[in-house]
Amino acid sequence: MTTWMRVLGAAGLAGSAAIHFSLYWGSGYADIPVVGPLFLVNGVAGVAIAIALLAWRHWLPAFLTLGFGGVTLLAYLLSVTVGFYGVHDQFNSQYEYWGVITEAVCVISGLVLLVQAIRARTAQNA
């Protein structure tokens, strides 16, 4: 199950990264102050964490996967409700739908992997 969760988490990370790269380079987000650079950082971080999640059997990539998904979802929630650095989204595009799905996958898989790591460590110390 752990391997499948790592693959699922890496797919969520890669999907979110692809969406952010696409919006950055193809939809004008590169020209938006603060948010544009954050989209580029999000894309790079998604790829880096996905590689770490697949290659390093440690709790840290799982934690980063959970954090990546949670923080990205929080930023999106802010942009839909009160605005995020001047950006106001409306949850009405394929990018937004897939973004929420991929980031929810990151949160779920990261959380499952962290729980598994804690259980394994507890069993090892018992």
Given a cut of 90, whether residue 125 has pLDDT beyond it is no
What is the mean predicted confidence (pLDDT) over 18-42?
Answer: 94
Give whole-number Cα distances, 102 to 42, 67, 119, in Å.
13, 13, 26
Single out the residue of 97, 111, 113 nearest to residue 15, CA to CA: 97
pLDDT (tens digit, 9 = 90+) per residue, 60-100?
999 999 999 999 999 999 999 998 988 888 888 899 999 99
What is the mean predicted confidence (pLDDT) over 33-46?
Answer: 96
Single out the residue of 73, 47, 71 nearest to residue 61, CA to CA: 47
Please compute, for residue 105, the number of CA atoms within 13 A of its CA located in the half-sphere on the CB side: 22
Residue 87 confidence (pLDDT): 87
Residue 86 confidence (pLDDT): 85
SS3 15: helix
Residue 1 confidence (pLDDT): 74
pTM: 0.92
Residue 70 confidence (pLDDT): 98
